[in-house]
Chains A and B, each alone.
Chain A
């Protein structure tokens, strides 16, 4: 542990949920505008990785005039190296359910869905039990809200919100064109709030303790705490709730094995930060790789010097090549070209300058891909190739 240890452990998310009934009852009796204001003042941002302000999302959907609206909990946790939502749903399901119901109250929706990742089928029985109990209580207090589980089928792309809607509608999981956005045109073409599991768990915290307690954590632009799924070359893998805004150096001091070469922040679609940049990198929402802070869905993969960065990238690209939905050109063909390209360079079939051509290609993918998947392949590719170029070639 370094002397300037700054990491702050937080314990909100997994704190007991025994008061959920009271929190539900209190909050559904508050005016929607008040709840929206509270969320906005907490500055909570979506914990799935994209970081859209949650209060604004609820507000936009609440403002749309429609008899039918939906609340969807995105539990299609597919980002490599992320396993926090599973933990939330098995340990504190009532927090998520409560927040969904409060959201229903705020936006005027009577129906909620949990889109559960196909591989999490084992969570279903327990979750269903919780839902039963939850709905029973809703009936008792005369609150009209029902929640259903929708099982995904294992496609990574279905975590993208509009692909998720398509999947729920029984269609092929392919992202839609945006606009229109879910707040106007979501599931079944109806206004929809779709939040990550962890985001909903945080709103519970805010409803329980007030926006200030949440806001006081973290730094500017990145308020509150966040769950981190720590994996890789670390003596203590697991899930940790930490305050946002920490420096990567402090994080590695705490979780590294003393030989950390790089950290992949935000899963395969995130950035790889090499050791020389640990000090200047903080974990939060604003900023770029070279700048100060990195956004993340919470996946932190540590690599020590025994790891080949070529193999790491090869692995990511294989993942993307397979998990692209295949509809748009830059993502479908781009991922294949990147993977085949680094293999060709490694084998000496293409010279090292070909890597620059591929870097330019990732730029095009970032600019032109239809959804976040294709756009974010550039993140890991360019951060790995730029920082570990020699490992790609030799």
Chain B
């Protein structure tokens, strides 16, 4: 290891590793330097200049995020010069920012607002630039609202879209005073390659990028006595929601969440984990069918590897970027859409309800789900399968609006029929979870034995590495699966679209031969989704993942096919996986899209 560097920060001597930035060194020392364009998930930009510090002996100030420590540096983070400059910079940002805070969706959770408050910017000396320019609010996307008047050009969204997602829907356009964050030819967000993943929202320090919220619509539905409002909650919501309501990162609040939803007035509170389990049976069967057709029938039309289709961000991405590979996608709908289709058929029939009066709401860690529920093909129940999609953040807002003291709530269980789930359904919320759940079921289906991993924990597909690979050798299968004997099932898991791109490109180049791949659009999987509480960071996502796996381990049932409600729905309604009814309600098709 290289020799440590000795520096002085505000007269405190510290030793740091070579290559440490002044910002990191200061944080280690307990000195807080404000930042805006800096984000732990992203490369250093050094463009907001809020983090400037004085290096004694230098006339100019340096951006702490972008300046590496040098031996003997004498750094001041709160000198006269630094304070004045920093205040100037905040004032400048405010002068070009639509600081109409009380009417902003991000009011209370805005990094610029916090800085203005910390530095007590009480005057408006500089000329307000906002009214002088033509700002547009792009509200065309069903998921994302982009308001340029609130943009501070930190380019965090641009870096997110490029580095984490490899999508590049947002880039910088023009220069000087006209410089702005724009889409291709400034088309509306719903007309470009944007996958609606919402990572830009999660990384935006201000209210320039926010989700399109449907809070009022849901309140209206709840208030409407003629409506039967049911709600489903995605696996990752239960490990994120607490963060908005006073809990530590990665707290499990499943029971309280259900209690809160009931207090809000939903007529039934059920679980997307149920349809996650259902997905496993449908998708697992689909995989085995494809394998059989490939290995036994040598059918040239069968497409392998098969890719998962739970993540709507990933679906839109592949539709744009690799439209010739759509046949590789599993035809299974996402758990949300399966639930929606069943809510207005199976559930309506069982509860003797008019499906037209059912309003189906889902709570998702995701903004792409808003787009997904809006797809024209998602009407297989005869109605719109899912009426409103709320993010974890929107649910937290409703809970606060309803005056619910969340921490004081007792735990409550989900309602029956579509509320039972297994640990396999829960881990859908983490990267690798779908793969692990699928292997738990498929392996047992084929061999009659548990997957050969301790406690069913398939560790190779867990963790935050961008691309994970695993393979399971199938030995001594049951008779009808004899063709799989000795087959090494090769799997890959990718999360964050930039990693999806890597896997796709390696398949395209013929370098990788997989049978089954799990793709999740967001870093960390759904637990790091674009609808989850802000802020996000690798550390926060790790804590949420721990919570998900703890939830799994605590479940009495941990394999999808053991779910009694799953057994029941096949007996009473769907008959068997990939049946005609399943095909009609639970499967879908995809369409190629333009690449800009």
Contact = CB atoms under 8 A, between A and B. Distances in A.
Interface of A: 155, 157, 172, 174, 177, 179, 320-330, 332-337, 340-341, 344, 350, 357, 360-361, 364, 366-370, 375
Contacts of B48: 328-329
A160 B126 CA distance: 29
A172 B92 contact: no
Interface residues of B, number: 40
Q: Determine the main DSSP class of B at the interface with A.
A: loop
Q: Which 8 A-B pairs have the closest CB atoms?
A: A326-B179, A177-B66, A333-B92, A364-B88, A327-B47, A322-B176, A324-B176, A177-B46
Contacts of A325: 175-176, 179
A152 to B, nearest CB: 13
B183 interface: no
Interface of B: 44-50, 52, 59-61, 63, 66-68, 81, 84-85, 88-89, 92-93, 95-96, 125-127, 129, 132, 152-153, 155, 171-172, 174-179
Given A328-B49, A340-B127, A367-B52, A321 B176 contact: yes
Contacts of B179: 324-327, 332
A175 to B, nearest CB: 10
Contacts of B175: 155, 157, 322-326
A321 B177 CA distance: 6
12 contacts: A177-B44, A323-B175, A323-B176, A325-B176, A327-B155, A329-B153, A335-B177, A337-B95, A341-B127, A364-B89, A368-B49, A368-B85
A368 B172 CA distance: 22
Nearest to A350: B127
A364 B85 contact: yes
A325 B175 CA distance: 5
Contacts of A327: 45, 47, 153, 155, 172, 179
A330 B92 contact: yes
A163 B96 CA distance: 24
A335 B49 contact: no
B266 to A, nearest CB: 45
A328 B85 contact: no
Contacts of B81: 367
B470 to A, nearest CB: 35
Contacts of A369: 49
Q: Determine the main DSSP class of A at the interface with B.
A: helix
Contacts of B152: 329
Nearest to B125: A357
Given A179-B68, A337-B126, A324 B177 contact: yes
Nearest to A339: B177
A133 B178 CA distance: 43
Contact of B96 (A172, A333, A357): A333
Nearest to B60: A367
A322 to B, nearest CB: 4
A172 B81 CA distance: 32
A360 B84 CA distance: 9
Nearest to A330: B49
A328 B93 CA distance: 10
B89 A370 contact: no
Nearest to B158: A172
Contacts of A324: 175-177, 179
Contacts of A328: 46-49
A176 to B, nearest CB: 9
A333 B95 contact: yes
A361 B95 CA distance: 13
Given A326-B175, A367-B60, 19 more contacts: A172-B172, A177-B46, A177-B67, A179-B68, A327-B47, A327-B153, A327-B155, A327-B172, A329-B50, A333-B93, A336-B129, A337-B95, A337-B126, A337-B127, A340-B129, A341-B126, A361-B92, A366-B60, A369-B49
B60 A329 contact: no
Nearest to A343: B127
Contacts of B63: 177, 370
A326 B59 contact: no
Contacts of B88: 330, 360-361, 364, 368
A367 B82 CA distance: 9
Nearest to B94: A333
A320 B176 CA distance: 8
A328 B174 CA distance: 14
A157 B96 CA distance: 22
A366 B176 CA distance: 17
A374 to B, nearest CB: 9
Contacts of A334: 92
Contacts of A357: 125
A370 B49 contact: yes
Given A327-B153, A341-B127, A335 B176 contact: yes
A231 B171 CA distance: 40
A368 B48 CA distance: 10
Nearest to A328: B47
Nearest to A177: B66
Given A334-B92, A364-B88, A344 B177 contact: no
A177 B68 CA distance: 11
A329 B177 contact: no
Nearest to A349: B127
Contacts of A336: 96, 129, 177
Contacts of B45: 327
Contact of B153 (A155, A172, A332, A370): A332
Nearest to A367: B61
B78 to A, nearest CB: 15
Contact of B84 (A320, A364, A375): A364
Contact of B92 (A326, A329, A360, A370): A329
Contacts of A375: 60
Given A179-B68, A364-B89, A326 B176 contact: yes
A327 to B, nearest CB: 4
A198 to B, nearest CB: 26
A323 B175 CA distance: 7
A14 to B, nearest CB: 35
A329 B86 CA distance: 11
Interface centre among A320, A327, A328, A361 (most CB of B within 10 A): A327
A326 B172 contact: yes
Contacts of B67: 177, 179
Interface centre among B50, B61, B85, B176 (most CB of A within 10 A): B176
Nearest to A361: B88
A127 B85 CA distance: 46
A191 to B, nearest CB: 18
A324 B92 CA distance: 15
A326 B178 contact: yes
A244 to B, nearest CB: 24
Nearest to A322: B176
A366 B89 CA distance: 12
Nearest to B68: A179
Contacts of A337: 92, 95, 126-127, 129
Nearest to A173: B175
B175 to A, nearest CB: 5
Contacts of A370: 46-47, 49, 63
